[in-house]
Structure 1
Amino acid sequence: MNFTESVTLAGEYAKLEPLSLAHHDELVEAVQDGDIWKLWFTSVPSPAMMRSEIERRLDLQRSGSMLPFTVRRLDTGKACGMSTYMNVDAARRRVEIGSTWYAASAQRTAINTECKLLLLAHAFNTLDCIAVEFRTNRMNHRSRAAIERLGAKQDGILRNVYKLDDGSYHDGVVFSIIDHEWPTVRRHLVNQLEAKRGNAQGG
């Protein structure tokens, strides 16, 4: 299968649908929820830059290096973020799940867990990947903890990956899940979703 062929991935809480310029206004509204583009340790498009960011991701899809998604929460029907397969290496059957952000109201919900489960399942079960990577800023402790909770293992830290607008440098922490770890990771994520469902019903 073509690694960058558009596909829709749907679960109980969220749906990952192919990114398009038609999502622009919804994504602007989502990114304004919490003003999350102002966080210095992560790269989130501002409302003014949303159109160019969508176009950038679609250009990378056409070049064969990215498969971008809009994340839609199913309880409200609203777009609540973006995610991608990036740094696609179809020949070596590797992808990175990244360039992900969520509106503040979607954070700490079942949405991220389910989206990661959907993306990992498609990568390992459909695309037959041998490894899936995750990367985040060394200072983004919340993101690092979230990646570790998925069951990914830290591979290392890449220092001075690029220079930020304020003159500081991005140090990237690299994590991965490899193919023989996927069944255990899948069971772990399914259990996490069941626990969230039970807490919601009990609350």
Structure 2
Amino acid sequence: MDYLEVPVLENDVVRLEPLSAAHHDDLVAAVQVDDLWKTWYTTIPAPQQMAAEISTRLERHASGDTVPWAIIDTRTAKAVGMTTYLHLDPANRRLEIGSTWIGKSAHGTPINPAAKLLLLSRAFEDLDCIAVEFRTHWHNRQSRAAIAKLGAKQDGVLRNHMVLENGTVRDTVVFSIIDAEWPTVKCSLTERLAIR
């Protein structure tokens, strides 16, 4: 299987489709709700930076670094966020799901867990991964809780891991799901979403 392939992934709740410039206007609208891009402990593109962010993600894909998707709410057919596979490591059958953001209008909905179910299913069932990693800022308590709720276990904290653009230093919390845990995680997510 090709780790760099960007297939359309879909269930009843969400569709992940290859990120493109066509998603620009929807993504700008998504970040404008409550000025999401101003969240200090994460990196979300501002409306005027969205085109550059899309271009950067597509360039990184072309260089073999990431696999970018737009997150589409199937109820509205609008893009509400972005997600990627990062740190692709086919030799060790690992990757990271990250650089994910979802607009505030979709917070608290099934969109994030439904998207993660699709991404995890592809990683474990199609790409034969033995581990999938998630990383987030120590202060991003919402993200940490959401990752744990997926069934991922915390591996540790990388202290003073990154200096952010605003000058703060990020402690990065690392989580993972391993292949032996995937059947239980999948069952839990499927029941949570009532997807058959």
With structure 1 as the length reference, what TM-score do the two structures score? 0.93
How many aligned positions are there?
195
Secondary structure at 1:154 match in 2: strand
Query: More displaced, 138-147 or 22-31?
Result: 22-31
In structure 2, distance between residues paired with 1:83 and 1:164: 20
Q: Is the 8 A contact 1:65 1:89 kept in 2?
A: no
Aligned to 1:115: 115
TM-superposed CA distance for 1:34, in Å, is 2.5
Aligned to 2:188: 188
In structure 2, distance between residues paired with 1:55 and 1:88: 19
Q: Is the 8 A contact 1:3 1:90 kept in 2?
A: yes
In structure 2, distance between residues paired with 1:49 and 1:78: 19
Aligned to 2:124: 124
Aligned to 1:85: 85
Identity across aligned pairs (percent)? 53
In structure 2, distance between residues paired with 1:105 and 1:27: 12
TM-superposed CA distance for 1:29, in Å, is 1.2
Q: Structure 1 residue runs of 4+, over 6 Å off?
A: none
Aligned to 2:174: 174
With structure 2 as the length reference, what TM-score do the two structures score? 0.97
Letter in 2 for 1:161: H
In structure 2, distance between residues paired with 1:193 and 1:52: 34
Query: More displaced, 172-181 or 83-92?
Result: 83-92
Q: Is the 8 A contact 1:34 1:103 kept in 2?
A: no
Q: Is the 8 A contact 1:97 1:134 kept in 2?
A: yes
TM-superposed CA distance for 1:9, in Å, is 0.2
Q: Is the 8 A contact 1:36 1:104 kept in 2?
A: yes
> 5 Å matches for 1:7-156?
7-156=7-156
In structure 1, distance between residues paired with 2:75 and 2:83: 19
Which segments of 5 or more consecutive residues in structure 2 lack a partner in the other structure?
Answer: none
TM-superposed CA distance for 1:33, in Å, is 2.0
Which deviations, in whole Å up to 9, do the C-alpha atoms of 1:36-94 show, x marking residues without a partner? 11000111111111111111111111111210000010111111100111111112111
